[in-house]
Amino acid sequence: MRSYQSHLQHASAANAAVARKPTFRSSAIFPVFHLKGVRTRIAFLGYWMVKRSIPEIHSVVTLRSIHGTPLYRRSERITEAKAYRVEAEDLLAWAGMNPEAEFTGSLEIEFYSSRDLVYPYPAVVVQYYGPEFGTIVHTAQRVFNDAEDRNANLESVVPEAGFNIYADDDREPFFAFVNGCDPVRDGRIAMKFYNSKRETLECLIPVSQLLPYETTIVHPDRHVDLQGFLGGKPGTAQIQFDVAWVFPRIIAGNVQRSRQGISVTHTYYDTSSHSGDEHYWKDAPEGWQPASLFVPLSLSGDRYTNINFYPIYSPSELEIDLELYEKDGTLIGIERNVHRIAPIHRGLHTLELKPLAEKFGADAERAAGANLVARTVRGSRLPTRLKIGLDYGMGTHALPCNICKTMDVNNPALENKRSSFHWAPVLADQQDAVVWVVNSAPLNPYERNAPVTLTFYREEDTATLTRELELPPNGVHEIRLSEHPELLEFFGGRMGWYTCVSTNPHAKSYYLSESASGIVGGDHDF
């Protein structure tokens, strides 16, 4: 793990004695699940042409077996700003394998350029999908570029955590990771689980050998009685595992047998044992909140929105306030101290936003937003990393998405930033898709409008559609694809992309899909 301050210094080397090393390779590696009712694809936008004016990128895609053996490789020259998609099913067929047979392995995509790519993490998503569901998450693991890259990102090794698990007769948790280019001997997978009673349960799995690029899938309920431990309620987990030459952020999620579907997210740092100065942010200056996060609400019908807090924060005492806003930024109500973060509160805490919205009389059929505000108490310090899990769900039986999102700490320097550029997929391949654009910041009060240009891209060609928006402070704009015939026709039932460009640095977006089974997939933008 690289500290947050170290990350900021890497991103801007204005005061560095040694210039930042250019990045000419960025990559991502994902587990592949080709099973009954489950398929795998990766997708990306040719954003380099739009964001960085790089005229040409070369991609290399490698499909490997579960044991890390290369099965198929291809390269492609990318010169157009449009949507791109790679289907694991196609790669299996081109490798001469039976695409109807079940397969588990990995898919790596590498991007090369003669110009600086800036970040070694590319903006790629993996989508696991089937006839009744779709779930998606952005790049988690990548194989390091060189020793300097590896050493910088492994300043300290911490457990991975920050996700929900379910274990009952219908649902089963899992996590999956891919090893890097070196073997691992005498390794282990150490797991610690938390239930709703703040009890813990531990499990250790020895791993005698892990081959280069080997894929590991762990179903912890097959090693320890999670069903009995969780008692039918959601829980969370902390994972430590040994890998080599690969960034250790991994994919975690849950299987739902009755829906023949899965829901995935990515893990996040557990910094609960780290209390050095580098793990805390500066005090909020006058006119700023310590930290905040604005999220769109999905509440109509049987839809719900939940916020999950995990036992992963650097030691601190914080109180969380909740502000509810209509889509035009009008304040609906404020609920103080809806949650308290403290080192003694070890476990998963879920904040259900639908009952709070009903308490304040919010119209569930209209777009709205919730602003979480973190306040330090009793002289405590503000952790740099305040990660929450954002659940959007439908009904009480289908799996929700579990978006990994961090709160925005106060950063007055952002006010000098002239614009923002975000992008994300439009999940037009699913039964319905939603894109939300929000405008908020940890300023108190926040009073800045956000003019936004949305540009939509598709896979078929380089044609685009454009929409102009003006978001008020603490405003939210919702685009539900089923209510926009022009966009439906434009995407033609395939996944597309959008860019969100604003002269306001605080404009951001989220996206999700709703499937026939009720399983929801979604994530935040890049």
**Which of 247, 270, 293 is the last residue before a domain boundary?**
270
Q: Is the pLDDT of residue 227 over 90?
A: yes
Please state, in angstroms and as integers, the Cα–Cα distance from residue 201 to each residue in 197, 198, 236, following that order: 12, 10, 11
pLDDT band of 20, cuts 50, 70, 90: confident
486 and 467, same structural domain? Answer: yes
* 149-182 residue pLDDT tens: 999 999 888 999 999 999 999 999 999 999 999 9
In a domain, 37, yes or no: yes
Pair 219, 349 in one domain: no
Q: Are residues 97 and 170 in the same domain?
A: yes
> Cα-flanking dihedrals φ and ψ of residue 92, to 5°?
-60, -45
pLDDT of residue 494: 97
Q: Is residue 275 part of a domain?
A: no
159 in the same domain as 118: yes
2 pLDDT above the threshold of 90: no
Q: Which residue has the tokens 């929105």?
A: 305
Structure tokens given for 502: 């604003």
* Least confidently predicted of 52-66, 148-162, 252-266, 292-306: 148-162
Range of weakest confidence among 319-328, 338-347, 486-495: 338-347
Specify the pLDDT at position 385. Answer: 96
Number of domains in the chain: 3
Note whether residue 428 is domain-resident: yes
CATH code for the domain in which residue 396 is found: 2.60.290.11
Residues 233 and 90 in one domain: yes
Q: pLDDT grade, residue 99 (50/70/90)?
A: confident
Residue 393 shares a structural domain with residue 453: no
Tell me what the pLDDT averaged over the chain comes to.
95
Same-domain pairing of 386 and 487: no
> Domain check: are 180 and 73 in the same one?
yes
Task: Classify residue 423: in a domain, yes or no.
Answer: yes
**pLDDT tens-digit map of 34-93:** 999 999 999 999 999 999 999 999 999 999 999 999 999 999 999 999 999 999 999 999
End-of-domain residue from the set 223, 241, 270: 270
In a domain, 168, yes or no: yes
Pair (339, 425) in one structural domain: no
Q: Are residues 401 and 416 in the same domain?
A: no
Any domain includes 102: yes
Instruction: List Cβ neighbours of 40 (8 Å cut-off, separation of 6 or more).
Output: 30, 31, 32, 33, 34, 87, 88, 89, 107, 126, 127, 128
Residue 441 lies in a domain: yes
Return the pLDDT at 511.
98
pLDDT-derived band of residue 341, with 50, 70 and 90 as boundaries? very high
pLDDT score for 346: 85
pLDDT at site 437: 98
Q: Which domain holds residue 69?
A: 1-270
* Per-residue pLDDT at 50: 96
pLDDT of residue 189 exceeding 90: yes
Q: Residue type for 196, please?
A: S
| Three-class SS state of 214 | coil
CATH code: domain of residue 440: 2.60.290
Let me know whether 391 and 432 are in one domain: no
Is 447 a member of any domain? yes
Q: Pick from 270, 302, 335: which residue ends a domain?
A: 270
State residue 7's pLDDT score: 54
pLDDT (0 to 100) of residue 5: 55
